[in-house]
Structure 1
Amino acid sequence: MRALRFHGARDLRVDDIAPPDRPGPGEVVLEPRWCGICGTDLHEFMAGPIFIPTSTDPFTGAKAPQILGHEFSAKVLATGDGVTSVQPGDRVAVQPLVAPPDDFYTRRGFGQLSSRLGLVGLNWPWGGFGQQALVREANVAKLPDQVTDEQGAMIEPAAVVVHAVDKGKVQAGSSVLITGAGPIGALAALAASAAGATRIIVSETNPLRRERIRELGVVDDVVDPQDQGTLQRIAGQTEAGQGVDVAIECVGHAAALDTCIRAVRRRGTIVQVGLSVEPGTVDISALVTKDITLEGSWCYPLTLWPRTISLVASGKLPVERILSDKVGLDEAVGRGFDVLTRPGSDKLKILVNAQA
């Protein structure tokens, strides 16, 4: 079979490798349909290995070269003994987190916080940028007919933002600021709208992405955080000019977090979703004197998958609106990774078909 594998920074290759063996008990062999290029994949491409193990992972057995891809839909090819939730021919969305069952956090329903966490497509032997993959039964969720394969490939990033919106306690009538108009920021806007937010403002420095996010149809205003008067403009759209109820930070940069601290009202909530590549400074005084709640948001609870699929199936979370392009496996680097890492790009989500 063919698979796109990470060998090193700026070194992704389509390799011919052996397909998975027959599935063991509780395992499922998949044929990936569509797989999204994630920001984490781009970090690995630009500066990895970061999460990809260079020596054998003691829990998952993975080691570079690593098949990438953790946002994907697939068709079930074969199932091992004891698998009951899916059967060959079923269409599924892959939930890529593999938490050790005996872990302190797994036993409490928060397996995503395990220090030994495995992630399909990063530190698990298989990934969505391959013609076949082997995962555990717990890593697949059957897709209803209303959800397309393309939408199924976006369930994973959608779950990330649904969790962030939950942590921010966004509700009917909330005002929300989102920093960053990339794929996660765009999905956060859609999720906040689905949760009932009535004022959604997006802060973004890239003019092309500012135009792109307006096309979603759920954003009330798009601002450039570098412009003078931006904070006043945001405040002017909120009750009594006090600031937004919730800010969701999707950039992973200290300046974006500072915008959130300044734009949120007293006793408001900031949810930090973006991962920073370097330490930043935080205005602790403003955080304290405004009595702000600052929440970290890492991945999602494993139980969030059915709810996210239901939101997409209902049409209330139209994830397909962020889709920019679809490419084949041999085009994944040139028309995918290279495009998404190009400064000033307006592209959001690019899907790769490993079968093409």
Structure 2
Amino acid sequence: MKALRFHAAGDLRIEDVAEPAEPGPDQVVISNRFAGICGTDLHEYAYGPVFVPTEPHPFTGATAPQILGHEFGGVVTAVGRNVTHCQPGDRVSIQPLLMPRVGDYYAERGLFHLSSQLTLVGLGWHSGGMAEGALVNDYNVQVVPEALTDRQAALIEPTAVAVYSCDRGGVSAGNSVLVTGAGPIGILALMAARAAGATQLFISDVNATRLKLAEAAVPGVIPINPVEQNVGDTIRDATEGHVGCDVAIECAGNEHALKTGLDAVRKQGVIVQTGLHPGENPLNWFDVTFKDVDVRGSWAYPTHYWPRVARLIESGQIPAENIVTRTVTLDDAVTRGFDALMDPAGGQLKILIDLESAA
């Protein structure tokens, strides 16, 4: 079968690889349908290996070259003898987190996403979503509602990141929320905040094209370009009592964006750090103390979020498909997918790979 494999920074190859093996007792074989290109995949392409192991992973044994793709779904084609929650023909979404289920402090407490041995299908596993098929563990497979489309099934993973960021921020009815970074996760965070009841939404980004995409995807959001406006002042002018927003969710992984969130949030507000920062980030801790704010991390998502997020997408409360700006074939995934998303002009937002068009 065809697969897109990461070999090294700048070296992605469409290759013929072996079909998925017969499933073990607790495994499932998937015929992949759609896979999303994530910012993490772009980082591997540009700077990797970052998360892709260069030595056998201590839990999975996987190493480069790696089939990429951790945002995907498809149709079950075979199941192991112990698998009872799905069967061949079921349409599914892949929850890609991999970790020991026992013998791990966090996993044994249901906090699977915090396991010290955590890796992902498509980053540290022998299979990934950017291939015609995949072999995964049973706990990675979630049957989706009948009304959910195959494209939407591939968007559950990034949407779960956004929903968790809003949960970490305690976003609730009537809140005002700033999201910094108008990428896919940032725009999904806006949608998740609105679904949670937020009534005033702000998005900041230095890329004017991305701001327009955010406005199109989330009607009513207030766009702010920090090159042209002071984000904190703009938000204070627009919020009740001129105090700032209730919650700031940082989705850019940018030093200036985090500082902007601290400036824009009201006293006793909440700052949620969702984007991954490349290094240390000095923050004005006097302001953190003086404003009595909470600064919280948001790492991935609890694995039990899948049914909840699927319902949010299926119901239309989170129209996740609005972030998709292009669909490509596997053969075109590098040139029309990865390279297009690396373009500084930012003309594309989320690109899906159609695996049924791979042949």
Please indicate the TM-score interval, normalised by the length of the shorter structure: over 0.9
Share of identical aligned residues, percent?
A: 49
Cα RMSD after superposing both structures: 0.9
Structure 2 alignment gaps of length 5 or more: none
Match of 1:331 in 2: 332
Residue in structure 1 matched with residue 134 of structure 2 by the alignment? 133
Name the SS of the counterpart of 1:15 in structure 2.
strand
1:73 aligns with 2:91: no
Q: Is residue 3–residue 354 contact of structure 1 (8 Å, CA) maintained in 2?
A: no
Q: Distance in 2 between matches of 1:98 and 1:276?
A: 23
Which range moves more in the overlay, 231-240 or 211-220?
A: 211-220
Between the aligned partners of 1:267 and 1:214, the Cα distance in structure 2 is 28
CA-CA distance at 1:325 after TM superposition? 0.5
TM-score (norm 1): 0.98
The equivalent of 2:297 in structure 1 is 296
Q: Does the alignment pair 1:232 with 2:230?
A: no
TM-score (norm 2): 0.98
Q: Distance in 2 between matches of 1:165 and 1:229?
A: 24
Which residue number corresponds to residue 45 of structure 2?
Answer: 45
Q: Distance in 2 between matches of 1:215 and 1:12?
A: 32
Cα separation, 1, equivalents of 2:42 and 2:356: 21
Partner of 1:242: 243
Q: Counterparts in 2 of 1:6-25, with a 5 A limit?
A: 6-25=6-25
> 1:218 and 1:139 mapped to 2: Cα distance?
34
Query: What are the equivalent positions in structure 2 for 1:170-181 lying under 5 Å apart?
Result: 170-181=171-182
Task: For residue 347 of structure 1, report the CA deviation from its aligned partner.
Answer: 1.1
Which position in structure 2 is the counterpart of 1:85? Answer: 85
| Structure 1 match to 2:254 | 253
Asked whether the 8 Å contact 1:180–1:202 carries over to 2, the reply is yes
Which SS does the other structure have where 1:236 is aligned? helix
Alignment partner, residue 33 of structure 2: 33
Aligned positions, number:
356
Q: Do the aligned residues in 1 keep the contact of 2:204 with 2:231 (CA within 8 Å)?
A: no
Please identify, of 240-249 and 226-235, the stretch whose mean Cα deviation from structure 2 is larger. 226-235
Structure 1 gaps of 5+ residues are: none
Corresponding residue for residue 64 of structure 1: 64
CA contact 1:189–1:218 (8 Å) conserved in 2: no
| Aligned mates of 1:318, 1:217 — CA distance in 2 | 9
**Deviation of residue 276 (structure 1)?**
1.1
CA distance in 2, matches of 1:39, 1:251: 10
Spell out, residue by residue over 1:61-80, the C-alpha distance to the aligned partner (whole angstroms, 9 max, x if none).
11100000000011101000
CA drift at 1:278: 2.4
Q: Whole-Å Cα distance in 2 between the matches of residues 279 and 200 of structure 1?
A: 28
Distance in 1 separating the partners of 2:230 and 2:332 = 43
Q: Deviations over 1:135-192 (max 9, x none)?
A: 1111011111211000110000000011010111101100000001000001001111
Question: How far did residue 228 of structure 1 move?
Answer: 4.2
Asked whether 1:285 is paired with 2:275, we answer: no
Distance 2:285 2:53 in 1: 35
Q: Is the 8 A contact 2:328 2:337 kept in 1?
A: yes
Structure 2: how far apart are the matches of 1:67 and 1:217?
33
CA distance in 1, matches of 2:8, 2:356: 24
One-letter identity of the residue aligned with 1:226: V
Q: For 2:36 and 2:170, locate their aligned partners in 1 and report how far apart those are by CA, in whole Å.
A: 28
Within 1, Cα distance between the matches of 2:297 and 2:230?
A: 28
Q: Name 1:168's counterpart in structure 2.
A: 169
**Alpha-carbon distance between aligned partners in 1 of 2:165 and 2:219, rounded to the nearest angstrom:** 17
**Preserved CA contact (<8 Å) 1:94 1:141:** yes
Paired residue for 1:54? 54
2:354 matches 1:353: yes
Please show how residues 109-258 of structure 1 align to structure 2 within 5 Å.
109-258=110-259
Letter in 2 for 1:181: A
Residues 1:229 and 1:255: Cα distance change in structure 2 (over 3 Å): closer
CA offset digits 1:226-272 (Å, max 9, x no partner): 22443211111111000000000000011000000000000000110
User: Closer, same or farther in 2 for the Cα pair 1:124/1:243, shift >3 Å?
Assistant: same
In 2: Cα distance, 1:189 partner to 1:218 partner: 10
